Copies of this chain bind each other. A is one copy, B any other.
Amino acid sequence: MFTRELTKSPPKLDIGQMSRILVVEDEDLIREMLVLALEAEGYAIATAADGRAALGLLQSGESTLSLRELASGANSGTLNEFPFELVILDLMLPQINGLDICRLLRHQGNPVPILILSAKGSETDRVLGLEVGADDYLTKPFSMRELVARCRALLRRQRFGGLPQLPVLRFKDVTLYPQECRVLVRDQEVNLSPKEFRLLELFMSYTRRVWSREQLLDQVWGADFVGDSKTVDVHIRWLREKLEKDPSHPEYIVTVRGFGYRFG
């Protein structure tokens, strides 16, 4: 299974770590919808409502627009200290049209990925858009989910060379990095055995859900496991020893008597 529930809004936003997207769109309504959807994905968004503003942001970082401040604040820099990793570009813009922006950027050797968003859906328009250096082309009206998925795909290739990456799982003082098989507890790295790691990964993917011992055996050990369900208890014990301040009065992995265990 590849899809995974996203834990929403990690508490600490570090703009240097977030993907930075520039949304260039003159229709206020659409622009705001885009911003909302993309911010919900955890991206840092700047916007421009016309071509000149967009070029300003892209070329120098100096802009005539006030930059969107991040919701929860408390981050070190403004958005335009960092280069954009993706541009979502409407074609029909005041001042300078989108195609020209795209052409200009490529002419200047700027490799930032560009996703064109346009009401012009004809084949010729689409081909032309890709021709002048865009990376993707979506026609209005578009599905917000698809747009987000396409952004993810572009950013994935940009940042991680094309391999999909699993989101980091956080809960209170525990952070789990699925790709790295690494777990931090109170900023200390702890060394988990494979079974412990899989257990924790499962727990953290579905916090607050109660798992029976049988379900845990199915998910972590595999459906072909034969043996005592007491095995789970022992592994839970090991895990508690590595996670909990006081393993005998657990705060993370809670026993639900008669049912099983729950994380969180």
Question: Which residues of A pack against B, CB within 8 Å?
Answer: 2-3, 103, 106, 109, 111-113, 123-124, 126-127, 130-136, 143, 145-146, 148-150, 152-154, 156-158, 160-164, 177, 179-182, 193-194, 197, 205-206, 208-210, 256-259, 262
- Which residue of B111, B153, B193 contacts A130 across the interface (Cβ within 8 Å)? B153
Which single residue of chain B is at the shortest CB-CB distance from A136?
B136
Contact across chains for A150 and B162 when beta carbons are under 8 A apart: no
Residues of B within 8 A of A145 (CB): 123-124, 127
Minimum distance in angstroms from A77 CB to a CB of chain B: 23
Instruction: Tell me the bound Cα distance from A259 to B205 in angstroms.
Output: 19
Please, could you name 24 A-B residue pairs with CB atoms under 8 Å apart, sorted by A?
A106-B163, A112-B162, A113-B157, A113-B162, A126-B143, A127-B145, A127-B146, A130-B150, A130-B153, A131-B149, A131-B152, A133-B156, A133-B162, A134-B153, A135-B153, A135-B162, A136-B153, A157-B157, A161-B205, A177-B208, A179-B210, A180-B210, A194-B258, A197-B258
Contact across chains for A259 and B194 when beta carbons are under 8 A apart: yes
Central interface residue in A3, A154, A161, by most chain B CB within 10 Å: A161
Residues of B within 8 A of A149 (CB): 126-127, 130-131
Instruction: Tell me the bound Cα distance from A163 to B206 in angstroms.
Output: 10
Instruction: Tell me the bound Cα distance from A29 to B48 in angstroms.
Output: 45
- Which residue of B132, B153, B154 contacts A2 across the interface (Cβ within 8 Å)? B132
Instruction: Tell me the bound Cα distance from A103 to B181 in angstroms.
Output: 20
Which single residue of chain B is at the shortest CB-CB distance from A208?
B180
Task: Take A126-B149, A145-B127 as given contacts and tell me if A256 and B164 are in contact as well, using a CB distance cutoff of 8 Å.
Answer: no
Residues of B within 8 A of A197 (CB): 258-259
Contact across chains for A164 and B258 when beta carbons are under 8 A apart: no
Residues of B within 8 A of A160 (CB): 111, 206
Instruction: Tell me the bound Cα distance from A17 to B131 in angstroms.
Output: 21
Residues of B within 8 A of A163 (CB): 106, 109, 111, 133, 161, 206
- Which residue of B127, B181, B208 contacts A262 across the interface (Cβ within 8 Å)? B181
Contact across chains for B123 and A161 when beta carbons are under 8 A apart: no
Minimum distance in angstroms from A188 CB to a CB of chain B: 17
Instruction: Tell me the bound Cα distance from A194 to B208 in angstroms.
Output: 17
Top 10 closest pairs, chain A to chain B, by CB: A194-B258, A111-B162, A130-B149, A123-B143, A127-B149, A133-B164, A181-B210, A130-B153, A181-B256, A180-B208
Minimum distance in angstroms from A147 CB to a CB of chain B: 10
Instruction: Tell me the bound Cα distance from A157 to B106 in angstroms.
Output: 12
